[in-house]
Amino acid sequence: MERSGAVTEQRKHPRAPLRLSARIRWQGPLGTQFEVTETIDVSREGVLLRSREDSDVRMSRAWIVFPFNSLDVSAVQPETPARVVRVERCGDGEYRVGLRLEPAHRASTSIPASGERRASQRVALCLPIFVRALGMPWAEETMTIDFSRGGARFETSRVYNVGEGVRAKIPWGEWQETGEVSGYVVRVEPAQEESARWGTFAELPRRSIPSPYDWLTMADVFHRNFFLNGPAGRLEALLWTTANPRPGFSALVCHPHPLFGGTMHNKVVYQAAKALHQSGAPVLRFNFRGAGQSEGVHDDGRGEREDVRAALDYLAAEFSGLPILLAGFSFGSSVGLRVGCRDARVEELIGLGLPVNNVDMSFLQTCGKPTLILQGGNDQFGAREKLEALYEALPQPKWLVVFDGADHFFSGALPKLGEAIESWVAERHDVPKANPAT
């Protein structure tokens, strides 16, 4: 039963049952507490999870990491700010706690008295930070809001003045070795939230804070496992977002034949997605109907084309106004590229391991969109001579890269495949790079 006086939860998005390891940082009157638990379900705006903490619905502030890698405690695992919106007591003495994920903080639009002028963009990133004013022996443990090349904005309950000197330390990753660094306050602003905490922007030595696009790893950005609404039921999906607030494009990668074990976790699909993500783009993968946890049954490519359209609808809504790059491997290329050629939202195509031996790919001859084709020289499902004949008939602009000695699954050539995609994208887009984990 919901606790008396609890804030009524208003959900705008459907929940998806999903169990993921999660770590919660509770901010309370007695300081910071940690709890490792697991999610019950997730939506675009929040999570429901089990907790041993009897949280105050109106006041509890929290930060969440999920999925949480408890085996690598030394890794930088940025946290998402959240607020408790619902608490239910369970029969086993635990609680079901609803957290609403908070959007990235935005700075005040008014010109600060300090005249702060940033030469680089801020990157929203929540990490623990210890900050103390000069001459004060005790540091406040709080959380960052965002970073730029020269500074960090953080929440605080202390009073700082513009120009005041501070010492700051982030006990994570490469900052662990740096220790305390000196800086000074360049902006103080009230936070727009119930807790009435304050946001302070402190300028720190440029060399002490690397560029966010240099030190962000794939694990540092928000990975979203969820279900798309497909025409034959829910489609299991995975979205990698990017630290770049203005990416040049979004990308969709389609997997090989599900009746032969193909899923969105296929190594070729993963390598292509990783290369696109490393090039600064948010990347969506999904399982066709009947594959993985996706509902429905295989439809020999016909219904799968509708699945691709559903994925494109999601990307177009999630990243409104961005052109879409569509990539597909094997079966994913025959289904995905066919849809991509006709969909105006898709502006670029990448075909990997085209199965030209048994599938008619002649629709590409009338496509006309920029198309990169990557093929193994010994592809058992796409003979080189047939592939080259198809390529010759394609309109410009087009590119073909053949990896000598590689088979259909690019065995021994996966790193080169990723490099080829990154190089092609770099020639066509001016996008700051993230640095996904290998």
CATH code of the domain in which 32 resides: 2.40.10.220
| 248 assigned to some structural domain | yes
| 24 assigned to some structural domain | yes
Whether residue 294 is found in the same domain as residue 363: yes
Q: How confident is the model at residue 258 (pLDDT cuts 50, 70, 90)?
A: very high
Q: Report, as an integer, the average pLDDT of 245-249.
A: 81
Whether residue 159 is found in the same domain as residue 265: no
Measured distance CA(240)–CA(437) in Å, rounded: 12
Whether residue 177 is found in the same domain as residue 279: no
Reported as half-sphere exposure (CB side, CA atoms, 13 A), residue 163 has a value of 3
pLDDT of res. 376:
96
Q: Report, as an integer, the average pLDDT of 371-381.
A: 97
Q: How many residues does the chain have?
A: 438
pLDDT over 70 at 233, yes or no: yes
pLDDT over 90 at 398, yes or no: yes
pLDDT of res. 215:
40
Whether residue 342 is found in the same domain as residue 267: yes
Token pair 């300090």 is at which residue? 114
Model-wide pTM > 0.75: no
pLDDT of res. 211:
42
Measured distance CA(361)–CA(387) in Å, rounded: 10
| 331 assigned to some structural domain | yes
Rounded percentage of the chain residues whose pLDDT exceeds 90: 41
pLDDT tens digits, one per residue of 53-62: 665 544 467 8
Whether residue 201 is found in the same domain as residue 313: no
Q: How far is CA 262 from CA 62, 230, 352, 397, in A?
A: 39, 18, 14, 30
Whether residue 247 is found in the same domain as residue 316: yes
Q: How confident is the model at residue 438 (pLDDT cuts 50, 70, 90)?
A: very low
How crowded is residue 52: how many other Cβ atoms within 10 Å of its Cβ? Answer: 10
What is the dihedral sign for C-alpha 46, 292, 216, 73?
positive
Whether residue 202 is found in the same domain as residue 222: no
| 9 assigned to some structural domain | no
Q: Report, as an integer, the average pLDDT of 210-222.
A: 42
Over the chain, what is the mean pLDDT?
79
Whether residue 311 is found in the same domain as residue 353: yes
Better-predicted residue by pLDDT, 132 or 121: 132
pLDDT of res. 206:
42
| 1 assigned to some structural domain | no
- Expressed in percent and rounded to 5, the helix, strand and coil fractions of the chain are 20, 35, 45
Domain span at residue 229?
218-428
| 3 assigned to some structural domain | no
| 113 assigned to some structural domain | no
pLDDT over 60 at 217, yes or no: no
Better-predicted residue by pLDDT, 142 or 331: 331
| Domain closes at, from 34, 66, 101 | 101
pLDDT over 80 at 421, yes or no: yes
pLDDT of res. 403:
97
| 86 assigned to some structural domain | yes
Q: Which of 5-14, 34-43, 275-284, 323-332 has the highest mean pLDDT?
A: 323-332
| Domain closes at, from 101, 136, 159 | 101
**How many domains is the chain partitioned into structurally?**
3
pLDDT of res. 53:
64
pLDDT of res. 379:
96
CATH code of the domain in which 246 resides: 3.40.50.1820
pLDDT of res. 72:
53
| Domain closes at, from 194, 210, 226 | 210
pLDDT over 70 at 208, yes or no: no
Whether residue 417 is found in the same domain as residue 375: yes
Whether residue 160 is found in the same domain as residue 59: no
Whether residue 235 is found in the same domain as residue 341: yes
| Burial (0-12, 13-18, 19+ Cβ within 10 Å), 122 | buried
Whether residue 168 is found in the same domain as residue 204: yes
